[in-house]
Amino acid sequence: MSQSRFDTVFLAQRLTLLRTLQRMVDNPSTAEDLLQETYLRVTRALGERPVEHLEPFVFQTARNLALDHLRARRVQTRTLLDDVPEQVLHNVAAPLGSSEDAAHAGQLLKHLSVSLGQLSARQQRIFILSRLHGASHLEIARQLKVSASTVQKELKLIMAICIGVAERLS
């Protein structure tokens, strides 16, 4: 299989590969990095041996890289949480953001506040109990005397509103 044939296949499948990687790792930047690594790995493999079924090989390479990334991230998270006492983690200073980041965050907060202010009193209460107090759907349902299904539906609607605001500002 020639490099030019691979380039043609890769370009034709690039968007599909990228979407697949984004769904797997839930991070557009990481997905782009994994896509580039896929290209490099397949190019290297083609230099070492012939590949009979190129498209499945490319997708499997991308999938394996994504799974390796997720596995490493899970190990890193577990190591951090297991090896460092929680009190120490909470005392670590967060890196300073840029003034641009602060302005964007302020704008996002302002828009979220406006959107959440338009919710009904019950929806606002559900949001506060769930997201700020960490109450379960069942606990909220009991407190507000509604079904857990109602709480779940309301939260789904509220989160869709929040995501919509964030996407508009991205």
Average pLDDT, the chain: 85
Asked whether residue 90 is domain-assigned, the answer is: no
Q: Render pLDDT for 38-72 as a digit per residue (tens, 0 to 9).
A: 999 999 999 888 888 889 999 999 999 999 999 88
The residue segments making up the domain with residue 58 are 3-83
What pLDDT is recorded for position 90? 61
What pLDDT is recorded for position 146? 94
Number of structural domains in the chain: 2
What's the whole-model pTM score? Answer: 0.47
Asked whether residue 148 is domain-assigned, the answer is: yes
pLDDT greater than 60 at residue 98: yes
Confidence of residue 84 (pLDDT cuts 50, 70, 90): low
What pLDDT is recorded for position 18? 93
Asked whether residue 88 is domain-assigned, the answer is: no
Same domain, 31 and 76: yes
Same domain, 75 and 127: no
What pLDDT is recorded for position 58? 92
Q: What's the CATH code of the domain at 163?
A: 1.10.10.10
The beta-carbon contacts of 73-80 under 8 Å, at least 24 apart in sequence, are: none
Asked whether residue 120 is domain-assigned, the answer is: yes
pLDDT greater than 70 at residue 135: yes
Same domain, 117 and 77: no
**Residue found by looking up tokens 């797997």 in the block:** 24
CB 63 within 8 A of CB 24: yes
Q: If you average pLDDT over residues 80-88, what whole number do you get? A: 60
Same domain, 72 and 9: yes
Distance CA 126, CA 128 (A): 6
**Residue found by looking up tokens 């407190």 in the block:** 143
The token pair that represents 113 in the structure block: 């506040």
